[in-house]
Structure 1
Amino acid sequence: MRLIIHRTGKPYPVKHYVNMLIIILFTALVLDFMISYASISIVKQQSGRSLRDTADLYINRINHDFAYINHYMGWSLANDQIIETMDENASGSAEFLKSNTQLHQRFTELQKNYGQAYHFFIYLKNKDFFLNCAPLSIGYPDYLELKRQIISYAEDKNVYDKFYSHWTPILVRNQYYILNIVPYHDRYLICLISADELIRPLQSIDMGKNGTVSLVDEQGKNISTPIRVDETQALDAAKPSPFGLAQSRAAVTSRFSDASFSVQMIAKYGTFEKIMIAQLVIILLALMIAIVLCIVMLYFNKRVLRPIQSFSDTLARWNEESAALDFKNSKIIELEQASQQFKDLIGQIRRFKIDMYEQELEKQRIQLDYMKLQINPHFFLNCLTSMYSMAQMQMYGEIERMAMSTTQYFRYIFQNGQNFVRLQDEIEHVRIYLDIQRHRYRNAFAYHISQDAETGEIRIPPLVLQTFIENAVKYAVSRVTEASITLSVSREMQGDLARITISDSGPGFPPDILEQLIHGGPLHAENGNRIGITNTIQRLALLYKGQADVSFSNREGGGAEVTITIPVLPPGSH
């Protein structure tokens, strides 16, 4: 049978295709220039937006800290019996000294929460008593100067209007500090923080070679160090420019809500100039490549494309007539080798499929090992924190039990290297974990474990139950109401299955999360917990070869419920 091919399109010379290639390359160059210009503009806008968002996040956090500290000092002056006792007793009396110690302890804890940069002082005007009520990190000369200024502020009748709920910068021995004074019946609580310490978190941001981050007062004067850009440069950076893309400096100023100073961030965008040069270099390279490609195309057509076309025609005839291939006249050694390579292709594909299957099995084994080794470091840190708190309260018996439970918990995790363990051992591990959490939450929840006698020797992958128990503790347990967690294990004679049910009295699964769990959709990561649920479901599917089942629901009386159904004998067991 002879195959006749009719050409439906008009043939063109190579020059025609070269011209088309040049047109396409020129169009690509123009598009590349436009895209480069747009990308530089977008990147600069996004960088400026990111800079402002960073400043807003920082200011919102500081505003929250300022508001809480101000409220705490006001509440302490108005309601705390400690300060009233100090004001009513002599400075050297036992009652005064005891109250002073208690006040120091409270504000030391407050300082631990907000950082050592915050300093707290108390001033009792009637007793002319001024003293810090938290550890200090300022020098004694600064302390004396600060004391003198605060006492002078307290003498001012307008001290309430000037300082209450209004954080104000003051200059102490060539160093700016942010001051807040809360007055109440000739009693004063003072909070102080260095301007440099307040702005330090933002100074770690890369603002460019000549960029800076600083605090400025209402007149625009810098009150923090180091100062790398003067006020004139800052004003120039803030002015709009008709050449916005070429402007390499930008300024962002954000004001605090209850303060008389602002954050000023000046960024030097020198990188955009480099981006523009790089884009121009890319365009020139593309033009050179286009010229070279045209030359190569002519040579390639003569020396390579025509022999390949002849090879393709011969191969097409071989497919139809099953005749032997002969490429000895192709003048290309590679084409002469193609016949044998084509014959070997089928065998290579079969071997490739086998290799891919073995690699997939190895990948699954590695994934299972990785899943088993996932440990939440926050749990270990929380255990240490709980034992530290118990030590402070001299709860030595609880410390012994907590330490023993924690030791057993981690021994089980680190010594377990098997795919399956006894269900009885897994339940005992869960019991130890719940006991540890009861120590942490001060018996804020109760748990109940019930198990059929014949289920103890059932084999189960390690750490499966703990994943769902951890989820129940995280979302069901609170210090407001006592929660309950239930774990029950039963055996179903029909089908030789084991049913494990984990339930709690918490708020249950959110509707959107429950919908994803029921339909097997992917869960977004949230501190690792949802990743753990997804990994556990994948482990069960792999190890039981699809014979295991996990179902999720919310109970009618409130709370979440997880039901795990597994074969009594894992795959491969006898």
Structure 2
Amino acid sequence: MKKEHRKKTHSAFGRHKLLLCMVVAATALELSVSVWAIHMVRKQTAQNASVMVQNRMEQVENNFFILNQHLKQTLVTQGQGTALSQAQSEDSLTRIQARQTLIDSLIYISGNSGNDYSLFYYFPKSREFLTAVHSRYIAYPQREGLQDAVIQLLDSGYHPSSVSDQWTLLPVGDTYYAIRLYQYQDVWNGSCIPAEALIKPLVGIYPKSVSFPVLFTENGKLAAGAGNLSREGLSPDKALAGRGPFWHKGQRWLVVDSSVSDTGFQLKLFIKDYGQFEKAVLFQTGVLVIIVILLSAVILAMSYTQKKILRPLRLFTERLKSYDPDKPVLIEMSSELEELSAASRQFNNLTKEINRLRIRAYEQELERQKIQMDYMQMQIKPHFFLNSLNLIHSMASHGNCQDVARLSEITASYLRYIFQSDVSCVELGQELNHLRDYLSIMEIRYPDHFQYEIFAEEEALLQAVPPLLLQTFVENSVKHGITADTKMELSISALIECTETSGQREMLTIFITDNGPGYPQTCLDVWAQGKDLARSGGSHIGIANASKRLKLFYHENAVMKLYNSPLGGAVTELHLPCKEEQNEFTAG
């Protein structure tokens, strides 16, 4: 006999140890590379931004230096000549010619500095300004206020030698102006530019939504860029104190500042959403760490499942194979898991519950059949058929053969529909045809006191309903609505609609209305409380049976409303689930 060889088995946890070690090593390497990459990108970004700011400040400083030299040279040159003194001469012609010479000299200077700066002379004796070049950044309405501010500055004892070659940031209302003044003899010349114009070239370095510059005075007051700070919700104090990277409203920012001593103010560049590369790297690393954690959890769960669940469950399955449902045998199983330890008890309880449900289903079926029988017995009323036969006999006695034939055919069709007891549901179209037979008999019996109409959508005619469901409500309307002095009017309508109460499902809606006395208020009060009408004394049997049949056929998914119309008469409103949703109800 050939000897069988068993394959060597390995545990799932042992097979995945190597994989787990490799993933952990790769994660550690990824973390190291990510930290290095973040450091290098942060350093490079800060250096690039710092170089941009420094270049701009050096450009501003160079422009200031050149402009300062030209202003001083022009002032001394004109002073050594006669232009400064003649510009204040009482002779109009001499004064105009001299001032034109001064204007020409400033225009020459503006050829090198462009029209960004406003260049002017000021004569303290006459308190007159002689402006040669107007800055394109200073609007006409702002010039008068700027001139008043310059006069106040000079009256306060300002002297250029006290601040070396630095420019002064002069506040005029809510606007700051960078201004530089020189004096020779009793005449001043100077230059000014709005602080906002100084930072304007830095606005285009990065997209506006990413970065913006801000300018502060030497004393730390905000001179330009207030709108940018307000838009981002940054206070001037926080902006002034900002250094390097910082967090604001859940976003990472980078501040690059440059303090230039020769100009007398400091410029800061704020870069928003700084660290996007860091976020991407950290996100990638975080995903890898999560994968490692999940993989470790899966391996540990596999080992735990094998030892604590699968082995006890296999034993339980083997014992379950020998279980006989007809014998109340307990299947006992012990395990460290409470769920598996209780499995045998749950199984035995389930067996008992199945037996109980069998008995309950049998009782429900008996109840269903009893209700069907009660409904059928209630429908077969001897006096109705006796009256129909008497009417046929009377018509035959008077020789109305056509009416006899028509009434006999309608009555036969009516009885044929009633006795189809093996049908659990019919199409609404069949049910309405049956009601037409009944109502046609009523029309023949009460030709001058009865009128009806039936309307139904084509889609509604194909919906399935329990047989003889509508008969109760129609007979109830006829019974209480026909009188000797009024004409009975009955209306039946059926349509498909979606309502909020049905969760936007399609429902078959049926209305049965009449112009009779309506439902008694006592019955409506009982129905409004959610109770069924009592079946006592032969009254309310039809409505009570209809309510029972709806619950058995549709469970809790059908709605029956009884109420009286404001115009008079009873209204019966039924909302039944449509055909595609009925399988789940009829199967129960």
**TM-score, normalised on structure 2?**
0.41
Radius of gyration: which is bigger?
2
